[in-house]
Amino acid sequence: MRMLSVLSRLAWRYLWRNHRRTIVMLGAISIGAWAMIFMTALTRGMVDQMILDGISALPGHVQVHHPDYLDDPSINNLLPLDDEELERRFAGAGFVAWSSRVKVPAVITSERESRGVTLLGIDPAAERGLTFIDEENIDGRFLEGPDDKGIVIGAKLARTLETEVGKRVVLMSQDPDNDIADRGFRIIGLFHASMPDHEDGYVFVGKRVAQNMLRIGGATTEVVFLGDDYRNVEPTYEQVLAAVDGSVSVKRWNEVATYLGSMLEVMDGFVVIWVIVIFLALSFGLVNTLVMAVFERVREIGLMMALGMKPSAILGQIILESMLLLIVGLAIGDLLAWASIQPIKDGLDISIVAEGMEMMGASSILYPKLLLQDVVLANVVVLILGFLASLSPAWRASRYEPVEAITKV
Amino acid sequence: MNIVLRLAWRNLWRHSRRTWLTIGAMVFSNTLLVFMISLQFGMYALMVDNTLKVFTGHMQVQAPGYNDDQKMRQVVPDVAGLAASLRESLGSDEIAARGWAFGLASSAERSYGIGIYGVEPDFEPRVSSIPGLVTEGRFFTDTNDPAIVVGAVLARNLRATIGDEITLLGTGVDGSFAAAVVTIVGIFDSSVVDLDRSIALMPLGAFQDVFFMNGAGHQVVLFADSLSAVGTLRREVEGLLPDGDDLVVHDWDALQPGLKQAIQADISSAFFMYAILVILVAFSVLNTQLMSVLERTREFGIVMALGLRAGRLGRLVMLETALMGFIGLILGAIGGALVTSWFTANGLSFPGMQEMAAQFNLPARVYPSVSFLSALLGPLVVFLFTLLAAAYPALRLHKVRIVDAMRTN
């Protein structure tokens, strides 16, 4: 133990003997560490937002459908469980939120234009936390209950249809017997969504109104459940699975939204690759610094060995020097990363490429997300790989023959 | 060989290990840069190509405002005539007229809202990949055939197949009710579910009949010889438009703003990473050259005492760096080209890529190819920054005081 404290003090002093070299190296390590963490936080934030947006674009964490519904989202693939049955099985089971919906394709027509949309019959009270609708940001008002006779459409869709709050539109779909099911609605609200596609594609009506219009009684097409965390949906999944039989299909969000699911995996991989690439770029400089540090004090090392210092102590000292350099560099880098994320924590506006981000499924405000696990990963990877990289120069230093080393000019 | 050059070359190899480590950092970064840049540019080209050749084309002639609102009545009058005259004046066949309408398609069992393109049977295959993707049945032969080609998912959802009749309901250009019975003659499979689910094609003549277009349409699609020729062609087309009609030409960037922005967003995040790599290499070089200058302080003192000016020595240091950078540049460019070529032959794929690629109309396996530009761009930037990094040690020589320097150990 005393040996260690002596060695680390020696290592620290050696580092500062050639302070320019140490400072340049520290600069490189800090920038590397900063880049690792900063970049990771940005991409994490982006993916996180994409997934939250994606999940709020209605899949929930776990969903239940008729087995054929996902392939063919039509009124003929109703859930075999009606609302009363669902209520009995899931009410009070402790989900963060759950809701059953009618979700079918429909055509909306104003006096001017018609467009294809997805009709959502919802119970607004149960949908809290499950939709992308921001009830504060609605021109007019949102639906008040499952019996609300109004319709809420996106602001962009309203522009295309040349209609507005207070005007009437006609919704057309089909009932299970393939007869046209239609009904007039008065527009009571226009919603705004961060993704223009949502503003175009979805219209909301009361669940029971939709059920009447489509003549399906108390039936719905999907039930969605929200658990605590999108990264861990297994408990919710198991719970839902236990409550139903094989007549319905139960899916996790990443099975429904495969793009988002794979995005998450790819990003996890990207973080590791990015950290390793940066480290490799750093490692050349690190090894170089150590090689030089050993080279310029060959005589000294020889002398220490002649005085009886064990090769293992020399080895330990060079490695200690490398570790000290890395730890200080990492600490500065971590601090820099934290300091540079702090001011943009409330969102970085990248709306200049908004439509491009939408193509990737992301919104135009980026919220960097600093995860402890990523910081730990970056630091640990650098320390471990740094240790391995310093083994070779340290090993060489400990293998010097004292007599040769002392006499070396 | 020039004496300064020889001197610089010898100085480099005094510490061959250090030199190789520094070159190693350059080669590593250069290889990575060449590969990544080749991959990126290859993907962008594919992305643009695959996206534009579905429907967008390189540019379109439209009525003003149509690009934003896509309203039925924003028409191009005598659209087939305009396309024909453009084909004649420009001497190109990659020009076709189209109409677009929204309608409700009903089979015996199901109804879905879809987008319907009215297309010219003879010329649509030149401007769109869809006719080539007809996997069952055939594409159109006669422009007045009451026929329709639907996407594979739509056909499945409609429970309809070749020869079945479909009822179309929609709104005509004057706001009146439009209805028609058409026969499915072909089914296309683009493997993009959204397209296959919601798009159908009709011959232009029949389309104009059904929607009371009176010879009008909504767009004339054009392809230039290459992306870089788009600007020239656009000006030519603008000059050829009939004076009386109020028409505009939009290029692909205006038609698909998401595409260019997605590329820009990707480029900016990639360039951040490249910049970090380049900076780390620059630090590595700075460290090495600083060391090599410091350890030669005495030597420099002596030659300066003999009458050599600091500027000359500074050039020597820069020359050493340039030699080192040049070796790094050559080896890195070769290394990068080799790595890229391996992937050119074998293709690149990683888990999750398929889903991600589908989002951007890319194949699940990409084949990057190396070009002169992509092989030299990254390494040249690294080379420049290398020289920049050596400027500090080189300029430092001006501060050397000869007598002190000669006394240094």
pTM for this model (two decimals)? 0.79
Q: What is the pLDDT of residue B409?
A: 62
- Give the burial class of B299: count Cβ atoms within 10 A of its Cβ; 0-12 exposed, 13-18 middle, 19 or more buried: middle
Q: How confident is the model over A356-381, as a mean pLDDT?
A: 78
> Residue A351: is its pLDDT beyond 70?
no
Report yes or no for ipTM above 0.85: no
Q: What is the pLDDT of residue B320?
A: 92
> Residue A347: is its pLDDT beyond 80?
no
Contacts of A106 in chain B (CB under 8 A): 113
- The pLDDT tens digits for A322-345 are 899 999 999 999 999 999 888 887
Q: What is the pLDDT of residue A364?
A: 66
Least confident of A232-246, B259-273, B319-333, B356-370: B356-370
Cβ–Cβ gap B356/A262 under 8 Å: yes
Q: Does A165 touch chain B (CB under 8 A)?
A: no
- Establish, for the pair of chains A and B, how many residue pairs have beta carbons separated by less than 8 Å: 186
Q: What is the pLDDT of residue B348?
A: 78
Closest CA to A328 of A397, A383, A289, A391: A383
pLDDT interval class at B23 (50, 70, 90): very high
> Residue A409: is its pLDDT beyond 70?
no
The answer to whether the beta carbons of residues A134 and A191 sit under 8 Å apart is yes
Cα separation, B253 vs A187, whole angstroms = 34
Cβ–Cβ gap A113/B279 under 8 Å: no
Least confident of A265-274, B107-116, B230-239: A265-274
- Domain-wise residue ranges, chain A: 2-54+261-407, 60-256
3-state secondary structure of A301: helix
Among A107, A274, A280, select the one facing B104 at the smallest CB separation.
Answer: A107
What residue type is assigned to position B148 of the chain? I
pLDDT interval class at A244 (50, 70, 90): confident
> Residue B202: is its pLDDT beyond 90?
yes
Pairing of strands B177-188, B147-151: parallel
> Residue B50: is its pLDDT beyond 90?
no
Contacts of A114 in chain B (CB under 8 A): 102-104, 113, 170-171
CA torsion through residues A317, A319, A323, A325, sign: positive
> Residue B230: is its pLDDT beyond 80?
yes
Contacts of A273 in chain B (CB under 8 A): none
pLDDT interval class at A205 (50, 70, 90): very high
Q: How confident is the model over B114-136, as a mean pLDDT?
A: 89
With CA atoms as reference, the chain B residue closest to A358 would be B258
Q: How confident is the model over A2-6, as a mean pLDDT?
A: 81
Least confident of A159-168, A191-200, B48-57: A191-200
Q: How confident is the model over A379-386, as a mean pLDDT?
A: 90
Cβ–Cβ gap A281/B261 under 8 Å: no
Q: How confident is the model over A86-102, as a mean pLDDT?
A: 79
Q: What is the pLDDT of residue B198?
A: 86
Per-residue 3-state assignment (H helix, E strand, C coil) for chain A: CHHHHHHHHHHHHHHHHCHHHHHHHHHHHHHHHHHHHHHHHHHHHHHHHHHHHHHHCCCCCEEEECCCCCCCCCCCCCCCCCHHHHHHHHCCCCCCEEEEEEEEEEEEECCCCEEEEEEEEECCCCCCCCCCCCCCCEEECCCCCCCCCEEEEEHHHHHHHCCCCCCEEEEEEECCCCCEEEEEEEEEEEECCCCHHHHHHEEEEEHHHHHHHHCCCCCCCEEEEECCECCECHHHHHHHHHHCCCCCEEEEHHHHCHHHHHHHHHHHHHHHHHHHHHHHHHHHHHHHHHHHHHHCCHHHHHHHHHCCCCHHHHHHHHHHHHHHHHHHHHHHHHHHHHHHHHHHCCCEECHHHHHHHHHCCCCCEECCCCCHHHHHHHHHHHHHHHHHHHHHHHHHHHCCCHHHHHHCC
With CA atoms as reference, the chain A residue closest to B23 would be A284
> Residue B203: is its pLDDT beyond 90?
yes
Alpha carbon distances (Å) from B366 to A19, A113, B46, B360: 48, 42, 9, 12
Q: What is the pLDDT of residue A30?
A: 92
pLDDT interval class at A56 (50, 70, 90): low
